[in-house]
């Protein structure tokens, strides 16, 4: 009888010791922050994620997509801790849908460009209108304005340049701005309207023209916070630190 009790006691102690050893690892599984972010932010956020895990042992789970698509997912029940959108339209959409969130503010800004990998003579001397009319430019990819703010900015620029009449038949719409750039990379289009930052890792030769910021609304990236617990608050401090802002700057983003 005493032997049985001794065995049970040893077993319980062994379980307690084992759980104490495994606890940090089991706890680590709960150390996650779910971030929805515009696909144009994929490069800096992948780097930020790795650095943050090394420093804080917290996993940043990233879900990239067109900002309006992500906002729609949230309105239908998706529950990120943080959402960084590539424009204010998705934020306004969520407000109309009465999606509850804790706070929001502008984190970054960007610029719109027109780019092509076609060899066009005197590119630097020609205006966008003249280049678009070129026989070498038959297909132009843009992000669908219904799915991504990049498409909204593009449509604003096109309308304000008064080139809609002869560009309309050339436009190919994609799910997001990164897909639009990949269309050109794969030869599915001859040119693209995109963010300047979407060409950080572009492999291949291309020419680009910056589009006057007078032709479209300022591109600002609001960060929307749905969960303001200590873990999220700590990550927000990191996002706004000089170290992280320098990472964003390296990829072509600037402060709003």
Short-list 201, 113, 205, CA closest to 154: 113
User: Could you give the domains of the chain?
Assistant: 10-110+219-250 (3.40.190.10), 112-215 (3.40.190.10)
**Rounded CA gap, 208 and 114, in Å?**
6
The CA distances from residue 10 to 2, 3, 14, 17, 84, in Å, are 12, 11, 6, 10, 52
What pLDDT is stored for residue 201 in this prediction?
Answer: 82
- What are 73's two structure tokens? 């997912």
- What are 218's two structure tokens? 């300022």
What pLDDT is stored for residue 204 in this prediction?
Answer: 86
**Rounded CA gap, 55 and 52, in Å?**
5
What pLDDT is stored for residue 27 in this prediction?
Answer: 42
Residue ranges for the chain with pLDDT beneath 50: 2, 14-29
What pLDDT is stored for residue 155 in this prediction?
Answer: 97
| Residue pair 97/70 in contact by the 8 Å Cβ criterion | no
What pLDDT is stored for residue 31 in this prediction?
Answer: 87
**Rounded CA gap, 195 and 65, in Å?**
15
β-pair partners for 143: 174
**Rounded CA gap, 85 and 73, in Å?**
13
Specify the pairing of strand 207-210 against strand 112-116.
Answer: antiparallel
**Rounded CA gap, 187 and 118, in Å?**
10
What pLDDT is stored for residue 243 in this prediction?
Answer: 96
**Phi (first) and psi of residue 26, to 5 degrees:** -65, -40
Short-list 140, 142, 141, 151, CA closest to 68: 151
pLDDT digits (tens, 9 = 90+) for 36-53: 999 999 999 999 999 999
The CA distances from residue 39 to 3, 18, 23, 49, 84, in Å, are 64, 42, 35, 15, 10
């Amino acid at each position: 009888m005493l032997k049985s009790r001794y065995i049970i006691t040893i077993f319980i102690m062994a379980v307690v010791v084992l759980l104490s050893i495994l606890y940090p690892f089991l706890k680590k599984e709960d150390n996650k922050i779910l971030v929805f972010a515009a696909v144009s932010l994929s490069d800096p956020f992948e780097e930020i994620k790795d650095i943050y895990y090394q420093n804080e042992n917290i996993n940043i789970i990233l879900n990239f997509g067109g900002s309006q698509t992500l906002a729609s997912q949230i309105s239908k029940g998706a529950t990120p801790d943080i959402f960084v959108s590539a424009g204010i339209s998705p934020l306004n959409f969520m407000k109309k849908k009465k999606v509850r969130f804790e706070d929001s503010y502008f984190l970054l800004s960007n610029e719109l460009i027109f780019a092509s990998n076609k060899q066009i003579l005197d590119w630097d001397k020609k205006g966008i209108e003249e280049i678009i009319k070129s026989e070498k430019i038959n297909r132009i990819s843009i992000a669908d304005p219904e799915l991504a703010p990049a498409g909204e900015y593009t449509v604003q620029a096109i309308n304000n340049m008064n080139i809609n009449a002869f560009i309309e038949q050339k436009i190919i719409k994609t799910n997001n701005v990164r897909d639009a750039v990949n269309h050109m990379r794969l030869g599915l289009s001859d040119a693209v309207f995109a963010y300047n930052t979407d060409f950080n890792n572009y492999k291949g030769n291309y020419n680009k023209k910056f589009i006057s910021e007078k032709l479209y609304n300022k591109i600002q990236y609001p960060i929307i916070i749905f969960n303001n617990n200590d873990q999220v608050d700590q990550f927000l401090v990191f996002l706004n630190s000089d170290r992280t802002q320098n990472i964003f700057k390296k990829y072509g983003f600037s402060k709003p």
